[in-house]
Amino acid sequence: MADLQAIVDDIHAALLPRLGEGAVADYIPQLAKVDPKQLGLAIVTTDGDINIAGDAGTQFSIQSISKVFMLTLALGKVGEQLWNRVGREPSGSAFNSIVQLEHEHGIPRNPFINAGAIAVSDVVLSGHQPREAIGELLQFVRYVADDETISIDESVARSETSTGYRNFALANFMRAFGNLHHPVEHVLGVYFHQCAVSMNCVQLAKAGLYLAARGTNPLTGHSVVSPKRARRINALMLTCGHYDGSGDFAYRVGLPGKSGVGGGILAVAPGIASIAVWSPGLNKVGNSLLGSAALEMLAARTGWSVFDM
Ligand code: GLU
């Protein structure tokens, strides 16, 4: 295998002069405070090698990357029935768009836009109090990352709760269509807390290993999902993981990935590695600008691509 440490060091050095490009997500007050001049990279291979550069040990808000973990949990609970509540098509619109929902009768396009993720949180909430559903998610993330120290940043959850007008609108709209089964406040309580999970790049890359290794974390031996389900989650990440930038990400990087407005991206090189990058400055569609650039460079240097096996 290529010298991954040399590659991540080179990418970090090449992007250093660009630190601070893009705009932090200022619609969430707590995220607006994050110093944009940070960049972390971590690659964890399926053999257990870890290569890191820059701010790979700094905690950040994983935001929408949590949607991958919630989707995994929801599929575990209700299986294919989940697809009665949410679609599997790219949305071609912004992460928080409400327009499509009206046309499509409250069934969100996919589990990775906000509306879809809120419907998925509603599924995970079934039979639970909100606190228990949040606990289940946190326990799951700790399990897949094999790291008991991962926690939720309550200040981020509060910050989103007090300013999440659009998410309240999306949730109320879906409730009106009968596609939320629990009170809006409960579902959003779960959703805002899942978005507020704090991780660093190494923890996040480890958490994604099950997707890189046919559903089983090769370092712990923990079986998380079947190989078929891991493949399908990866397919959704590739087609829908970057909102209205999903096509461009697939074109430039060629790996399944999921971004969050905290500036993190989890990417999967199936059979090879799980990769996490983080840089808070976002591009126009809400994906980490330097994080995407770093992954494009990594894919070019390693040749990793799901289109070239
Ligand atoms: N918590 C964010 C929101 O709901 C997540 C968006 C994202 O990371 O893309 O607005």
Q: Please identify every stretch of the chain with a pLDDT value under 70, giving residue numbers as ranges.
A: none
Q: What is the pLDDT of residue 309?
A: 74
Distance, CA of 138 to CA of 156 (rounded, Å)? 15
Q: What is the pLDDT of residue 93?
A: 79
Copy the structure tokens of residue 283.
């591009």
- Decide if 243 is catalytic: yes
Report DSSP state, residue 85.
T
Q: What is the pLDDT of residue 287?
A: 96
pTM above 0.85?
Answer: yes
Q: What is the pLDDT of residue 104?
A: 87
Ligand 1 pocket residues where CB is under 6 Å:
63-64, 95-96, 114, 160, 167, 195, 260-261, 286
Q: Dump pLDDT digits (tens) for 256-268.
A: 999 999 999 999 9
- Decide if 33 is catalytic: no
Identify the sign of the CA torsion 20, 191, 268, 140: positive
Contact between 118 and 130 (Cβ < 8 Å): no
C-beta atoms surrounding 135 within 10 Å: 14
* CA-to-CA separations, 31 to 153, 159, 196, 209, 260, in angstroms, rounded: 11, 9, 10, 27, 11
Q: Write down the catalytic residue from 24, 261, 268, 277.
A: 261
Q: Which residue has the tokens 């990417």?
A: 267
Q: Write down the catalytic residue from 243, 274, 279, 292.
A: 243
Question: Which segments of 46-183 does DSSP mark as H helices, in order?
Answer: 66-78, 99-103, 114-125, 130-145, 154-163, 165-176
- Decide if 67 is catalytic: yes
- Decide if 246 is catalytic: no
Distance, CA of 236 to CA of 238 (rounded, Å)? 5
Q: What is the pLDDT of residue 95?
A: 72
Distance, CA of 159 to CA of 14 (rounded, Å)? 34
- Decide if 8 is catalytic: no
Residue of 28, 156, 194, 288 with the most ligand 1 atoms within 8 Å of its CB, for mutation: 28
Q: What is the pLDDT of residue 177?
A: 96
Bridge partners of 54?
Answer: 40
Q: Dump pLDDT digits (tens) for 127-149.
A: 999 999 999 999 999 999 999 99
Domains, in order of start, for the chain: 4-63+199-302 (3.40.710.10), 64-195 (3.40.710.10)
Phi/psi for 236 (5° steps) reads -70, -40
Residue of 195, 204, 249, 285 with the most ligand 1 atoms within 8 Å of its CB, for mutation: 195
Atom of ligand 1 nearest to the CA of 262: 8
Q: What is the pLDDT of residue 72?
A: 98
Name, in order, each residue with C-beta under 8 angstroms of 69's C-beta and a sequence gap of 6 or more: 137, 140, 141, 144, 194, 207
* Nearest C-alpha neighbor of 177 from the set 91, 243, 118, 126: 118
Crossing angle (nearest 10°) for helices 114-125 and 184-195: 110
Atom of ligand 1 nearest to the CA of 64: 8
